Copies of this chain bind each other. A is one copy, B any other.
Amino acid sequence: MPDKRPFDLLNEMLNKEVVLAIKGNKVFKGKLISYDIHMNLELFSVKERKDDGSFSDAQISKMLIRGDSIVYVYME
């Protein structure tokens, strides 16, 4: 196995804005505050993607996303 691990990317993403997709096709964008080994994530200042692909103005201040709901996370 390589020395690098996928969770290193989560570490690299800390305090940066990430986009994450959860099961059921919802997509959120927000600043990644913390994560744990279950891939539970805390986001700050979160926007939800609308049907037209843009993100909502309305922001959620603090959000906990359950790890097993997550499909992928990326930095743009």
Contact = CB atoms under 8 A, between A and B. Distances in A.
Interface size of A as a range: 35 or more
A1 B71 contact: no
Contacts of A74: 46, 60-64
Interface in A1-51: 1-2, 4-14, 22-26, 28, 33-36, 39-42, 46
Given A4-B33, A5-B34, A66 B70 contact: yes
A65 B22 CA distance: 11
A57 interface: no
Interface of A: 1-2, 4-14, 22-26, 28, 33-36, 39-42, 46, 60-76
